[in-house]
Amino acid sequence: MAFRKRSVVPQSGGLLSNQPVAAKQSLPQGVRPSPLDGRLTTSTGTHSLDSLLSGHSGLALGTSLFIEENGTTDFAGALVRYYAAEGVVQGHHVHVLGMNEAWGRELPGVGVDDSSSRRAESRQNDEKMKIAWRYERLGEFGAGSRDRNASQLKGPSDSTSTAIFCHDFDLSKRLTLPSPSNVKFVPLSTKPNLDFKDADSTLSPFTVFLAHLTSQISATPITTVHRIVIPDILSPAIYPTEAARPEHLLQFLHALRALLRKYPTQLTVVITLHSTLYPRSTGLTRWMELLSDGVLELAPFPSTAVAIKSNPTSTIQEEPPQGMLKIHRLPIFHEKGGGGGEASGFGDDLAFTLSRRKGLVIKPFSLTPVEGDSEAQQGGLEHDHGKATKVDIEF
């Protein structure tokens, strides 16, 4: 039997009991840990898109998202503008490659009801009971619900924190960039060739992009979050014909992927491509998909299919879907559930709708009842002797 005073607390060897606990490092604005594995994530500026990204409720830092679109519409351009506008509001460094300052003047502004609704929601959360706070946090990030994804994360020391992870934007407004703006535009050189000589095909047009990104990222602290925006890559109106050469494009994407792996807590990339010019059946597009972490495809409906008459018997006026969303790959697919399951909608038929205030909303696709089919809408409550009575309906 060991004789020892009961008031003395035994200490483990090599550790001091009076050693202070290391303070928790504060996260940058607009960044929060994933509910699955704790990796850092940031918002894409679209609530419904955040809920689809592998259950992480946001785009994981160090990953890229490749968005393709068919037809002549520009829904992918709206998504990438939401992504850039969210970075501007959160104070992130936004690098727009291939575009000039005119593209930045078209960013949507923050909605008016955004701040007031968040304050009302925070007051409701403060009034809730604090007994079962552990169970209340389980559904905070959500999996498809906009309200859950929009809920605020409160720190352990500040219960009145009003940090917003994803803002609501209004397409009818324009975002005013701050004077010391963190948005950098890197357009391609449009200097006319006065020598009337053929362009040198050995020079890559993406060299200026890599030089800009390398210098900008290395010159900022490690806590700075960078967003790389590449809208309409390989568009003939922006890029020269040499940009579509595999030795130039694939080398640029390999270098971009290397930057993502080198700065896994600072960098995210979103690229858009018109698949009408470069279909998925071509080898170049398939290689671009393989070098991206997440691949989405937007298939808008024809203009004749969008103009659907509203049902007068319906009490809820829902906006008709404007196209289908196909998920080919999601970033961070692992054994903990990321990348699949009913939480992310992987494998389901998804449709999207773009509106002025709600933005781009992604939801499961369902066919509406045929107009004029009153029997199907009423449930077919008829039999051979006439209409169904109350006795027939009751069990």
For residues 351, 355, 357, 358, the Cα torsion angle rounded to the nearest 10 degrees is 0
Q: In the chain, what is the greatest distance between 2 CA atoms, to the nearest angstrom?
A: 98
Q: Identify the pLDDT of residue 215.
A: 96
Q: Are 233 and 239 in contact (CB under 8 A)?
A: yes
Which residue ranges in the chain fall short of pLDDT 50?
14-23, 114-115, 129-131, 133-161, 307-310, 312-313, 315, 339-343, 395
Q: Identify the pLDDT of residue 143.
A: 43
**In sequence order, which residues have a C-beta less than 8 Å from that of residue 341 and are 6 or more positions away?**
55
Query: pTM here?
Result: 0.75
**In sequence order, which residues have a C-beta less than 8 Å from that of residue 292 and are 6 or more positions away?**
64, 65, 66, 253, 271, 329
> What is the C-alpha to C-alpha distance for residues 29 and 207, in angstroms, rounded to an integer?
31
> What is the C-alpha to C-alpha distance for residues 160 and 3, in angstroms, rounded to an integer?
51
Q: Identify the pLDDT of residue 385.
A: 55
Q: Are 61 and 265 in contact (CB under 8 A)?
A: yes
C-alpha 269 chain-centroid distance: 11
Q: Identify the pLDDT of residue 53.
A: 87
> What is the C-alpha to C-alpha distance for residues 306 and 300, in angstroms, rounded to an integer?
9
Q: Identify the pLDDT of residue 101.
A: 93
> What is the C-alpha to C-alpha distance for residues 112 and 58, in angstroms, rounded to an integer?
23
Which of 259, 254, 285 has its CA nearest to residue 272?
285
Residue 387: strand pairing partners: 382
> What is the C-alpha to C-alpha distance for residues 266 and 221, in angstroms, rounded to an integer?
10
Apex CA 133: angle with CA 129 and CA 139, to 5°?
A: 115
Q: Identify the pLDDT of residue 302.
A: 87
Going by the DSSP 8-state scheme, the letter that residue 80 receives in this structure is H
Q: Identify the pLDDT of residue 203.
A: 84
pLDDT in tens, 212-240: 999 999 999 999 999 999 999 999 999 99
